[in-house]
Structure 1
């Protein structure tokens, strides 16, 4: 990924909790191209890992993707926050950011290969990559429908522009407006197996779509999602021991840390990328023990086999886990 130093040229309050931030090159030149679904990794002072923020493109103009003069982000102020969103909300025009990207782990499939209506589902700030997809699909003349879920209209970012751009293709489902509500199960009942579905938003929304899609036997290749939430402790998590067979190291993994965290603290250099259990880069072979799979990468059959584990997010049901590392 390219490493860039970008300048904040403008910030705008979209909702009480969402701020859009426009970034430009220091020399005012053209920025690297990107496709719908791409994000930037931004270095946050005092944070060891960069934060990922999706690029927002509401304009169907081809130049907005291929020869952008600026990047636009939408950032929700998280509560509680680890500091990333607070820092981003504090940015002012003239500030500079160290950025990696654009990178795209959430691309559109070949939008010319399937004439079925594409289904876009966004929850909360998950609208940021989904809005870019809507713009790209509209530009390509491809049929789509966008379902946008949120707690209230006043908290839903970019809503007016989306309505102006997409008209009847946009369906807003706000918790505070009973007349707009379409329960997620009812929406999924309307989707056929030939359609591609893209979903971004809170973990609960994505988990619900994944679970119900499996119940309906949708093809895995037709369900696409992105989750920016890293591993977090769950109720009942406990410590366990991990042995690295190749090196002979035996390490303790506490309840509030991942296997990847512990390996890094021990001076190991494991491969990883997303830290969310989506990409498969950190996968390790399990020689002994029973993994507690929490990833979004493995198939049901692979989970049942218990032969591999995504060390960035998954844990152990057994007291000891032996990995081929």
Structure 2
């Protein structure tokens, strides 16, 4: 497991070079990367991502993009510039041809199922990127699928024309400004055929709305797949709380603006995690005492209600203390 920001990450990473950088939509830039030494790059499956060291030791995750007919000798990513973010996306946008990057091996927490039934791919904004590779793979196997992508406006609709040319009527583009509002995901779920696997990638409100529509139809959780393309946000009213590590009895205070992972790791607790957005499930931890404040997109409504699990990369506590099975 490569933990973001750990000193050992660079030693285990690939050294890749930027060979093209292209503005493909409003605030979105595509970069193509190849190995500096000319070696073949590790293979990856649809939905996979890599982590790239962007600035000040920070590692950001970017989905790998495969379109029909593209060569497999390079990695392609698309980066949306976040002017109010920590600076990683701005640093990526400033890269020019020849720049060298430390890139971790591909990892997939958002993989396609291996069945033969239909697939519904729902994308919000830059959340489109992992779904492009999925659509390419589904088309190659002849599997029935539909890709619905939403963007604020036409200028922000990255890859819309390319996808329409590649996949024809299987692609639908929703533009918020022209439609007068966000994509009505409940309508998509209401008309999904039995046995459909749904893949949703985008901001939290889109994922939450899609999950609610899915749950309302009482469809199987195993056929609902998500990846979150939002960084965790501090919410108004967040309060400090304590976390007790059951195995050692250590107690830590988690202040607003810090995650359980950040505080425990700073205290020397060895943890396993990946996304730090609340969507991969790697950091899922048992709750022995206390009430979690769930902010992930992994747990089902029933699991949230039970309160026995928590994703420590984003979730907090409603109670004064949580005792965790660590």
Same fold (TM > 0.5): yes
Could you tell me how far 1:181 is from its partner in structure 2?
Answer: 7.9
Alignment of 1:135-150 (within 5 A): 135-150=136-151
Rounded Cα–Cα distance in structure 1 between residues aligned with 2:282 and 2:65:
26
Q: Given the superposition, is the C-alpha separation of residues 180 and 81 from structure 1 closer, same or farther in structure 2, using an over 3 Å criterion?
A: closer
Match of 2:65 among 49, 56, 65: 56
Partner of 2:233: 232
Partner of 1:256: 257
> What is the Cα-based RMSD across aligned positions, in Å?
2.0
Aligned residue-pair number? 316
Match of 2:38 among 28, 32, 53: 28
Match of 1:17 among 23, 27, 37: 27
Rounded Cα–Cα distance in structure 1 between residues aligned with 2:276 and 2:168:
37
Q: 1:137-163: per-residue Cα shift (whole Å, max 9, x none)?
A: 111111211111111111111122111
Match of 2:95 among 80, 87, 91: 91
Match of 1:7 among 2, 6, 17: 17
Q: 1:182-221: per-residue Cα shift (whole Å, max 9, x none)?
A: 6222222111341111111111111111121111111111
Partner of 1:37: 47
Q: 1:90-115: per-residue Cα shift (whole Å, max 9, x none)?
A: 110000000012111111111xx32x
- TM-score normalized by structure 2? 0.90
Q: Which moved more, 1:202-211 or 1:239-248?
A: 239-248
Q: Which moved more, 1:82-91 or 1:282-291?
A: 282-291
Rounded Cα–Cα distance in structure 1 between residues aligned with 2:246 and 2:118:
49
Could you tell me how far 1:268 is from its partner in structure 2?
Answer: 2.1
Q: Given the superposition, is the C-alpha separation of residues 121 and 258 from structure 1 closer, same or farther in structure 2, using an over 3 Å criterion?
A: same
Could you tell me how far 1:179 is from its partner in structure 2?
Answer: 9.1
Q: Given the superposition, is the C-alpha separation of residues 280 and 127 from structure 1 closer, same or farther in structure 2, using an over 3 Å criterion?
A: closer
Match of 1:71 among 60, 69, 75: 75
Alignment of 1:165-176 (within 5 A): 165-176=166-177
- TM-score normalized by structure 1? 0.91
Partner of 1:293: 294
CA contact (8 A) 1:150 1:173 kept: yes
Partner of 2:275: 274
Q: Given the superposition, is the C-alpha separation of residues 182 and 41 from structure 1 closer, same or farther in structure 2, using an over 3 Å criterion?
A: closer
Could you tell me how far 1:60 is from its partner in structure 2?
Answer: 4.9
Rounded Cα–Cα distance in structure 1 between residues aligned with 2:229 and 2:150:
17
CA contact (8 A) 1:172 1:180 kept: no
Q: Given the superposition, is the C-alpha separation of residues 90 and 182 from structure 1 closer, same or farther in structure 2, using an over 3 Å criterion?
A: closer
CA contact (8 A) 2:228 2:297 kept: no
Listed as ranges, the gaps of 5+ residues in structure 2 are 3-11
